[in-house]
Structure 1
Amino acid sequence: MIKKILVAYDNGNKAKKALETAIEIAGGSKAEIHLLVSVKMPDFISTVATPDMLKDLEDKSREYFTEILKEPEERVRKEGLPVFSVILQEPPGEAIVRYSEKEDMDIIVMGSANRGKLERLLLGLGSVSNYVLQHAKRPVLITKG
């Protein structure tokens, strides 16, 4: 039985779809839903930003997601499910895999890449979802749409 579901959340439409899927999965068993956000800036930003700018960006991102997570938390609570939010400051793929192991998640649910059709054609599956698929020791469900 599924008792703990990790949802990678970035407030995009695909993450919202992943959350709805997780709620459906959790419904029958009253599983916990853990919303995970990473505020670590992509490596390419560190090549153009000073360390102070980078820290400021990550701090502002943390503030932003602290507010943004209130809506999906409320959505989960409305279904009578336990919800936990965590904001980490490490590369997103690594954060998802590490947290899923540390907290003994039963499944990871995440949206497919937030890339357009041309980017997907050229680059394939998103780097975060691809990383998680390759490294997670838990089942991974990638939602589309």
Structure 2
Amino acid sequence: MKFSDFKIGQRYETGSVLLTKEDILRFAELYDPQYMHLDEDKAKKGRFGGLIASGMQTLNVTFRLWIDVGVYGEHIIAGTGMNHIQFLKPVYPGDELRVMAEVTELRPRRTGNGTVTVLLSTFNQKGQNVFRAELSALVDN
């Protein structure tokens, strides 16, 4: 969509993705090698009662699901920021995540393009909000 096609309050729902134990372990080994993501025995004794996905993995899955909707299409120029990142609940192996996106701000620029800000809210299969963040992108007109 072009910048001029966006309206405050527009909402989009993504598809979903199932996070397996193997997905969580693989991501953690590469990018977040902490015990709660890698060591099943130690994680069982910890605060969450078992392995959980890295918050960074949840963020990445959220972003991928949003981009897969295809709203920006060929009109995206670049991401410009991510604000108010919140990890609200742990994500466990077997959780299926989906995202609701809502356009919350539009900032036109003199050049005709503008910045679109969306609130991304990620939910598990139980309807629990596990992640939330604002994502801004520069979009052509």
- Output the TM-score relative to the length of structure 2: 0.26
Greater percentage in helix: 1
- Output the TM-score relative to the length of structure 1: 0.25
Greater percentage in strand: 2
Which is higher, the Rg of structure 1 or of structure 2?
Answer: 2
